[in-house]
Every structure is written in C-alpha cells, then in structure tokens.
C-alpha cells in the first residue's frame, strides 16, 4: 500500500489519532527524503516504520528520525512499546539491529515471522523487533534532560 501526503494529512485529522508521520528532510537543503511513522492499533505496543531514499542510506537519517519519534511515543503518548519488522534478506538493516543504530536505540529481536509480509507478489520472512519504554528511558535519560 502506498501512502500519499493526502493520506497522511487525512490520518492526522482522525480522532482519536491512530497514525503519526514525520517527514525526514535532507540536512543541507531541507529536501524531503523519506518519512518515519507510528501506527497505533489500540494497544500500547505500536508499529513503527521508516522509509529513506536509497541514495541517502548510511547517513544517519533513519536513526535521527527514530530517535525523535520514539521520544514522542514514550514521553508524549505514554506508550509502553514500539515495534517494527525487517525483511530477513535486508542484511544491512539486520546488522543495524544486531550491532548498529537500531541496537543503540534499544531495539532487540522478538522473533522471526515466516511469510509475514506480502511484497512484490511474494510472501517474505521478517525479523520482528521492539524497544520498550523502560529500555528507551534507561538508554536515553541524558538525551532528554
């Protein structure tokens, strides 16, 4: 499913609000290069996703966007957990979860889900991962103060 700016604006007007999008902009010229989103499903463990233009990967945009969104989720919304999924064949992102930026944000693997996402006409296996409010607070207490 493709989400348009119109969809994001329409979702922001729903009450109670169930989706939060933040645009990710290029540092030098404010050019939009992606987004990070939080989707509330009615539980206190919500789904987080991020999409960054491929030519901008490896520059810290996703990490910065996740940092802002997670701080908002845990401090402002009072959520207990943020979760996400990564395609198993996305080795760079899996490495980030194991020892890179996602690990530093506090994300850990919960499980591997077989045939979790249907993308480009095929079922794909995914790593399901999450970070708790408690872990976020422990790791980022000094950042917030």
| Per-residue pLDDT tens digits for 73-103 | 999 999 999 999 999 999 999 999 999 999 9
Domain count, the chain: 1
State the Cα–Cα distance between residues 35 and 21, nearest whole angstrom: 7
> At 28, phi and psi to the nearest 5?
-85, -35
* The overall pTM is greater than 0.75: yes
With 0-12 / 13-18 / 19 or more C-beta atoms within 10 angstroms meaning exposed / middle / buried, residue 106 is buried
Does pLDDT of 7 surpass 80?
no
Could you tell me the residue range of the domain that residue 54 belongs to? Answer: 5-144
Q: What is the CATH number of the domain that holds 51?
A: 3.40.630.30
Contact status, residue 21 vs residue 32, Cβ threshold 8 Å: no
pLDDT of residue 145: 45
Quote the distance between the C-alpha of residue 118 and its chain's center: 19
Q: 32-82: per-residue pLDDT in tens?
A: 999 999 998 766 568 899 999 999 988 999 999 999 999 999 999 999 999
């Amino acid at each position: 499913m493709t989400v348009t700016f119109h969809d994001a604006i329409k979702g922001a007007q729903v009450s109670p609000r169930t989706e939060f999008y933040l645009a990710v902009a290029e540092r030098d010229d404010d050019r939009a290069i992606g987004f990070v989103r939080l989707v509330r499903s009615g539980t206190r463990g919500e789904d987080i996703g991020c999409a960054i233009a491929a030519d901008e990967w490896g520059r810290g945009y996703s990490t910065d966007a996740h940092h802002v969104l997670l701080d908002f989720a845990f401090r402002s919304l009072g959520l207990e957990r943020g979760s996400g999924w990564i395609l198993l064949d996305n080795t760079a992102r899996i490495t980030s979860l194991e020892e890179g930026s996602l690990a530093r944000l506090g994300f850990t693997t919960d499980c591997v889900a077989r045939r979790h996402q249907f993308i480009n006409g095929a079922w794909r296996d995914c790593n399901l991962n999450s970070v708790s409010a408690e872990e976020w607070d422990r790791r980022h207490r000094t950042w917030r103060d």
